[in-house]
A and B are shown apart, each in its own frame.
Chain A
Amino acid sequence: MTAISPVSPDARRIWAAARGPLLIGVIILGAAIVITLLRGSGEGGSLDPRSYRPEGSRAVAHLLEQNGVRVELTDDASAVDGATLFVTHPNLIDPARLADLSRRAAATVLVAPAGGVGQVEARTRQPGCPLAAKAGAATTGGFVYEGEQRCYDSTVVRTGTVTALGHGAVFTNRDLDSEGNAALALSLLGGHERLVWYVPSAADRSQQKSLTDLVPDGWKFGALQLGVAAVLIALWRARRLGRVVPEPLPVVVRATETVEGRARLYRRSHAAGHAAAVLRQAARDRITPLLGLPAGEDPSDEIARRTSRPVAEVRTLLSSAEPVDDRGLVALASRLDALENEVRKG
């Protein structure tokens, strides 16, 4: 007795094999959905004028627009002439470029730039200087700077047209409504008709140095030596062990090519009439021996007798010489087939 063991898997085995990967897939998908829901749909990071999140700045941007200031969000800040330039992350920009931009801008506001001389916590402070007298108390802190005009215990400092803030709290959605934050923000950013809101991207910083500048000098020669090694390895791989041997191939042609060529010729010249004649002749040649008639005899009468079709119809179908068009040819082929099948059955 031979045990029969089927090789193709049944449903249970397919399930057993697939449930592991399926479970992992479901877990990944579920985790992705949960994380996306928890993170919310707000876009942008901190101090982004499009962001509704607590650390975003949608509220202050909206206030500025209401006061007739045009807010332009940008990540390269080329057209700053005559406008207020507001830089949320000045440390991501090349210092020389930042200096150039602030020279061209009518006023510049920087949030927590480098160069602080100390750090304090963020809390409500009194201005203590004419610059922000109108605003009154505001939430400031972060870095402490040196400069010409120092306010809020040196956490807001102006030197020429450049104002540096130690912390960006006054511009955030969360703190805008407390104390005189809104007034301070508006007085700092709303001084001119146009505000260029510069959110630098990480790419701004990498322009400074090319890769070759970062590589130690010694390794440049190492790279040259690497080129030498590459050449040697190429020589090793390129050297064949003896020449390529060609294969003497015999002449082989597909035998049906002449038949296919003839079919294309028929089609191109729309020789439907000729094709119809050939198909009719072939059908006659096949049916005649089926009926036991000698070759070359007209089988129409015998077919009509067996299939109870009118003789005239059969004769027209099998041996009419009337012209046929392309569509008629396809129909004729099917009708000839049908007739032949009837004869075979009958």
Chain B
Amino acid sequence: MALTGRAGLLALVGVLVVGLLLPSWQGILVVLAVLVLGVAVDLALAAGVRRLTFARAGATSVRTGELCEVQLTVHNPGRRLRGVLRDAWAPSAGVVADRVPIDVPAGGARVLSFELRPLRRGDRVADRVTVRSLGPLGIAARQGSHEVPWTVRALPPFHSRRHLPSLLERLRELDGRRASLIRGAGTEFDSLRSYVIGDDVRSIDWRASARSTDVVVRTWRPERDRQVVVVLDTARTSAGRVEGSLGGLPRLDTSMDAALLLSALAAQARDQVDFVAFSHRLRASVPRASLPALVRAMAPLEAELVEFDARGAVAEVLRRAGRRSLVVLLTSLEPSIEHGLLPLLPAVASRHRLLIASVSDPAVHAMASGRGDLEAVYAAAAAERTLAERRRLTALLARHGVEVVDALPDDLPRALADRYLSLKAAGKL
């Protein structure tokens, strides 16, 4: 049950009645009795809320920050229902207007449409649907809630996709589509064809020419069908918020953006991408990932306050990567790597090429250049210590043959994709 503003207004009119006509206890009781009677009539005649049935349809996934629509159908088996309906979602689901006036005829149905603009990545779950059914006098209303489950998955925004055209351009340059007969690193034998004037004489295949009547040249193409295993660290260090041009984002989100750009590029380069998210346990894994499947798997991932289990992650990678692959680990260059990952490196590095991508923090660089008072200089010393630690780790990893990309959040996706392309060009996949 719920009262309306009209009940309050009626009681205010009652003030005049009591003050001017019936200045006594009886007067107050009379006004109260009229009010109670009105409320009782309204409650008796309002349409029932309990027997309503609901159904949902519409979007199940949307890119974070974009608009989608979810429909809610209300079936009303009883008498005519007038009132207000609220479709409650968590604040981050970004419902544009969750309260709508409704008028459902007896035995009829209405379809209501709610617009959602999710503010955060992840599964956005609908809470209850609450209906307030007004009585004919509009003094009181019946109210009740129903569970009508629905989930909209807010996908990672993939901001770095704007880099994709220029990266693809670079990839085409590398690729056989810009035909070159020059044999270089990062290319493998494609086919034989007859010599045309202008071809490089160094690419003539004399053995094949001897068997044929023509002079035959070999053509080359970049290596393809390589395997790329992307490992996303979702443990403790990925929860750290780092300020970038998009505001303060957790390292995890920047890493995801980088992983998406790399995967999109690798798919265009016809390499196969396997995705693994790991903290102290396996969080998500997508073998032979297509971009939509990848985005879908990443959406509900959140950072966990646990230590990254390097041993488990390495075992998972070794199990997945059968042949020689590029293993990309998106983590953070912290001293804990030394105890966790470093002892396991030989097992990975002997069979695969390992690339570690890490989000560096512009705030630490700003602190390192702080001068003036004592506090700033101590902060600078602490920041320099952290940066020195990272340099040392980078050098240590490089000694084990591990590539390291350590970049600011705005630059990391592009830097990682560039490194992938240069590795591909050098035939080191």
Contacts and interface: CB of A to CB of B under 8 A. Distances in A.
Interface of A: 217-222, 224-226, 228-229, 232-233, 235-236, 239, 241-243, 245-248, 250-260, 262-264, 266-267, 274-276, 278-279, 281-282, 285, 295, 326, 329-330, 333-334, 337
A204 B15 CA distance: 34
A245 B384 contact: no
A221 B11 contact: no
B391 A228 contact: no
Contact of A255 (B31, B240, B372): B240
B119 to A, nearest CB: 10
B242 A267 contact: no
Interface stretch (B82-90, B221-229, B290-298): B82-90
Contacts of A224: 18, 28
A248 B24 CA distance: 54
Contacts, number: 189
Contacts of A278: 381-382, 384-385, 388
Given A221-B23, A333-B380, A337-B371, 20 more contacts: A218-B18, A224-B18, A225-B18, A225-B19, A232-B8, A242-B88, A246-B90, A247-B91, A252-B248, A256-B363, A258-B386, A259-B382, A263-B379, A266-B378, A267-B375, A267-B378, A275-B381, A276-B381, A278-B381, A333-B371
Contacts of B208: none
Given A233-B8, A256-B363, A285-B391, A251 B31 contact: no
A194 B386 CA distance: 86
B19 A219 contact: yes
27 contacts: A218-B18, A218-B19, A218-B20, A219-B23, A220-B23, A221-B28, A222-B18, A222-B19, A225-B15, A225-B17, A225-B18, A236-B3, A239-B143, A241-B86, A241-B132, A242-B129, A243-B145, A246-B90, A251-B239, A254-B241, A255-B240, A255-B364, A256-B367, A267-B378, A326-B374, A330-B372, A330-B373
B12 interface: yes
Interface stretch (B102-110, B181-189, B299-307): B299-307
B271 interface: no
Nearest to A236: B3
Interface in B293-335: 302-305
Nearest to B372: A330
Contacts of A241: 84, 86, 99, 130, 132, 143
Contact of B364 (A217, A218, A259): A259
B337 interface: no
Interface string B1-44: 01111011001101111111011110110011001000000000
B250 interface: yes
B303 A250 contact: yes
B388 A282 contact: yes
Contacts of B17: 225
A229 B8 contact: yes
Contact of B2 (A239, A257, A274): A239
Nearest to B363: A256
Task: Please report whether the interface of chain A is mostly helix, strand, loop or mixed according to DSSP.
Answer: helix
A219 B18 CA distance: 8
A263 B241 contact: no
A333 B250 CA distance: 32
B414 interface: no
A242 B128 contact: yes
A229 B12 contact: yes
A232 B9 CA distance: 9
Contacts of A255: 240-242, 251, 361, 363-364
B377 interface: yes
A228 B3 contact: no
A214 B17 CA distance: 20
Given A282-B384, A285-B391, A245 B91 contact: yes
Given A252-B241, A253-B240, A225 B11 contact: yes
Contact of A256 (B84, B132, B304, B361): B361
A311 to B, nearest CB: 25
Nearest to A254: B241
A6 to B, nearest CB: 28
B222 to A, nearest CB: 33
Complex A-B, nearest 7 residue pairs according to Cβ-Cβ distance, in ascending order: A218-B23, A222-B19, A255-B240, A242-B130, A229-B11, A275-B381, A233-B8
B23 A232 contact: no
A254 B363 CA distance: 10
A320 B135 CA distance: 88
Nearest to B301: A250
Given A259-B386, A263-B381, A226 B15 contact: yes
B368 A282 contact: yes
A212 B258 CA distance: 75
Contact of A282 (B143, B239, B371, B387): B387
Contacts of B381: 263, 266, 274-276, 278-279
A248 B379 CA distance: 34
A224 B11 CA distance: 11
A242 B86 contact: yes
Contacts of B239: 250-253
Nearest to A248: B90
Given A229-B15, A247-B92, A260 B8 contact: no
Contacts of B251: 255
Contacts of A235: 3, 7
B216 interface: no
B152 interface: no
Contacts of A260: 367, 379, 382
B28 to A, nearest CB: 5
A241 B91 CA distance: 15
A266 B380 contact: no
Given A232-B3, A250-B303, A278-B385, A225 B92 contact: no
Contacts of A263: 367, 375, 378-379, 381-383
A182 to B, nearest CB: 59
A228 to B, nearest CB: 6
Contacts of A266: 378, 381-382
B418 interface: no
Contacts of B69: none
A229 to B, nearest CB: 3
Contacts of A243: 88, 127-128, 145
A250 B241 CA distance: 11
Contacts of B373: 330
Interface in B316-367: 361, 363-364, 367
A251 B91 CA distance: 17
Given A221-B27, A252-B241, A334 B371 contact: yes
